[in-house]
Chains A and B, each alone.
Chain A
Amino acid sequence: MNPFIIIALREFTTRVKNKTFLLMSIIGPIAIGALLVVPALIASNVDEDPKKLLVVDNSYLLVGTEKISKHSFQYLNPDEFDEESAISAVRDKETYDGLLFLPPSINGDPDFILRNTRLYSKGDIGMELTREIERRLGKLATEEKFKINGVDPAIVKNSATTVNIKNLDLTEEGSETSSLPLKMAIGFGASFFIYMFTFLYSAQIMRGVIEEKTSRIVEVIITSVKPIQLLLGKIIGIAGVGLLQFIILIAFSTIIYSIAGSFGLIGSDISQIASEDLVIQNVKSQTAVSEVIESLKNFNIPKLIGFFIFYFLGGYLLYGALFAAVGAAVDAEADTQQFMIPLTIPLLLTLMLGGQMMQEPNGTLATWLSFIPFSSPMAMMIRLPFGGVETWEILLSISLLILGFIGTTWVSARIYRIGILSYGKKANYRDLYKWILRK
C-alpha cells in the first residue's frame, strides 16, 4: 500500500475511534438542534407579566386608550395631579408599575408633547412596552397632524396600501421565487461552518505535528517515508475526519430538525421573525412559511452542497498546511501564539465582514474577497446563495484557491521538513524564511 494512504488511514482511524469524536458527533448536532429549537421555545413561551401604568395625560392625546396589548392604563385627572404628585402616587401604590406623563400641548403641537413625554418605572418595565407606547403615541400624533392639516384620517386609512413585492430571480429557464432571509441564513451558515471547521481541524493538524515532534517518532517515520508524504497524509486523513463529522452533523441535525418541525416548534419561530404586525400575524406567517418552503425548492441544493464541500476542503487545505508548518516550527503548543495570529486574522476578518458582504453580495468587497484564497471559501459561500455570481468569477475563485493551497502546502512542506528535526531552539520568522529557502 502507498505509505501516504497508510498514514492518512492512521490519522483517520485513530481520531474516529477516539471518544471525543463520538462525543462531538452526538453533542454537536444536539447543540445545533438546540440552537434552532430553544430560541423558538423561549419565544413562544415567555410571557411578560401585564403591567399597570398610571397615566397623566395633559394633552388628551391618549383619550380612550385603556390598554396597549396586555398592559393596562389607569388615568389620573391632570387637574388634580401634576408630575411630582403623580410620581409620589405611583410610589405609594404597589399595584402600579410606573407612570406615563404627557405634558400639556403648546399651540396644539403634537411634536412638543412627544418630545416631553416621560415614562417613570419601578424596576424593569421592559423595552417592548416602551416601544409599544412609542408606536401608539406616534400613530395618534400622526392622526392629530392630519387633522391639524385638514386631512381626514379615515381617507388616509383607506388609502393605506400593503405592498408585498415578490422577489423573483431570473434564471436560464425562467424565474423563481427567492427568499432573502433564507439566502442570508444559508450564506452565513455555510461560511460560519467553514470558519469553525477550518479552525477546529487545522488546529488538530497542528497538534498532531507537535505530538510527533515532541515524541520524536517523526524521526522514525521519515526514515520510511518522505516528510511531504507524512505531511499530506496527515492533512488528508484529518480532512476525512472533518468530512465525516460534517456528514454526521448534517444527518443528525436534519433528523432533529424534522422531529422538532413535526411538533410545530420551528414553524412558529419563522412566523415570528417574519411578522411584525400582530394583527395579521397568522395570515402573514403562513405565507412566510410557504414562501420559505417554495424558495427552498428553488435553490439548487446539490450544486450548493457541491460548492460547499469544495470550498470547505479548499479552505481547510490552505489553512491546514500553514497550521502544520506552525506545529513544525515550535516545540510546544504554548509557543504557537506568535505564528497563529497572522493565520487567525484573515479568517476572523472575513467572518466579521460577512454582514457587509450580504448587503451587496456582488459588490466590490464581496467580489474581491471571493477571489483571495485566504477569504474566498467563506466569501464565496456568502455570495453563492444570492445568485448572480458569474461563471468566470467562480472559475477564477476556484483556480486561485487551488493555486493557493498548492502554494501554502509547498511553503509548509519546506518549513516542515526542517522544523520537525529542530529541537530546543525557538524559531522566529527569520528562521522560517531561511528554512523555506534552504536547499
Chain B
Amino acid sequence: MNAIQSFGVDKKYENHVALHPLDISIPEGSIFGLLGPNGAGKTTLLRIVNQIIAPDTGYIEFYGQNIRSEDRRWIGYLPEERGLYKKMKVGEQAMYLAQLKGLSRNEARSRLHVWFKKWNLETWWDKKIEDLSKGMAQKIQFITTVLHEPKLLIFDEPFSGLDPVNAALIRDEILRIRDDGATIVLSTHRMESVEELCSHIALLNNGEKILDGSVNDIKESHRDGNFRLIYRSDKAINLSIPNEVHLVQNNADIKKGVFIAELQSQKQSASQIIKNLSSQVDTISFEEIIPSINDIFIKSVKK
C-alpha cells in the first residue's frame, strides 16, 4: 500500500505555478527522497500533504483513504525553517507540541522522559530555548516531531546545521523509525544522505515531476555502459579490446604503478569484458560505473 498517493494535485499562485498536476506514490515503509532544486515545488507539495494548504485541484490519499483532517494526528513534520518559542522552557514546549498532536499530558511526559534520558538531555528540561545552541534546539525539535509516533514522517533537511556526531544520531533514529514500520519522506539537497538512506525518490523541477521510482530502478535505467578497470603496471598498457567496446581513456595513473582505464559499451556485459581483459593486465579491480543519484539529479535537471 502507499502511505501517500497524490492524484493530479496542483497549486497556482497569482503570478506563478508552484505545482503542475502531480501524481506521486510514496510506498508504505519506504524512506522516500523528495529531491529538486530550490523552487521546484517540494515545500508546496509537503504543505499540501500536511494540509497546511489545499491543492487547487486533485486530491491526496493517506493509506488508501482520502486524507482527512484527523490524519494530522498520524503525520509528523519537521519543516526546513526550524522554530520553537524562544522564551518557553524546553520541557513545557515539548509537552505543548505533544498535546497539540493529541497525546495526553501523562503520555507526553512519560514519552519525553524516555527520549530525554536516551539522549542525555534531562538537564535541559527547564532551560529556555533561546539558551540552547542551534544543534541542541534541532534535537529537541526532532523529538517533538517523532514523539507522537506518526505513521508518516516528513523531514525537510533534517541534517542541516548538525555536526557529524549528531547527524549520525538523527540518521540512526530515522532508520530505526523506518524499521518500526513508519514511512519517511526526506526532502534534502544532500545527495549522500539520499544514497545512504532512500529506497525511493522523486525528482521535481519547476513544479513538475521529472523522475520517480525506486532508487535501484532509477539507477538501473540510468546505466550507460561505463566500466572502470584499475590495474598494476609501470606504464599504460596498450589494451586490445573487442569491437563492441570503446576505450574512453587509458592513461590516468592514480599513483605510481597504478593505472585506470575507462571503457564504454552498450552491448557487452561486465563479465564479458573482464573475461577479455583479465589476461592482458594485472587487474586490481574492475567495475561497472553506476551513476550516482547526484549525477542523475544534475543530468535530469539540466535536460
Contact = CB atoms under 8 A, between A and B. Distances in A.
A10 B93 CA distance: 9
Q: For chain A, which range describes its interface: under 10, 10 to 19, 20 to 34, or 35 or more residues?
A: 20 to 34
A14 interface: yes
By CB atoms of chain B within 10 A, which of A14, A224, A421 has the most? A224
Interface stretch (B27-35, B74-82, B235-243, B259-267): B74-82
Interface stretch (A153-161, A210-218, A235-243, A290-298): A210-218
A216 to B, nearest CB: 3
A276 to B, nearest CB: 55
B56 A224 contact: no
Nearest to B144: A220
Contact of A215 (B50, B75, B84): B84
B85 A217 contact: yes
Interface in A169-214: 211-212
Q: For chain B, which range describes its interface: under 10, 10 to 19, 20 to 34, or 35 or more residues?
A: 20 to 34
A12 to B, nearest CB: 12
A215 B100 contact: no
B270 interface: no
Given A219-B79, A421-B52, A439-B56, A224 B85 contact: no
A146 to B, nearest CB: 77
A215 B83 contact: yes
Given A220-B79, A224-B72, A10 B96 contact: yes
Contacts of B81: 216, 219
Contact of B84 (A6, A217, A223, A421): A217
Interface string B54-88: 10100000000000010010010101011111111
B244 interface: no
Interface in B40-55: 47, 50-54
A439 B54 contact: yes
A429 to B, nearest CB: 15
Interface in B127-173: 141, 144-145
Contacts of B69: 226
Contacts of A407: none
Interface string A222-234: 1111100000000
Contacts of A421: 47, 52-53
A341 B105 CA distance: 43
Contact of A14 (B52, B77, B84, B87): B87
B51 to A, nearest CB: 8
B100 A224 contact: yes
Contact of B82 (A14, A216, A221, A222): A216
A279 B81 CA distance: 76
B87 A220 contact: no
A3 interface: yes
Given A7-B100, A215-B86, A219-B52, 5 more contacts: A216-B79, A218-B83, A220-B145, A223-B50, A434-B14
3 closest cross-chain pairs (CB), A and B: A216-B83, A224-B100, A215-B83
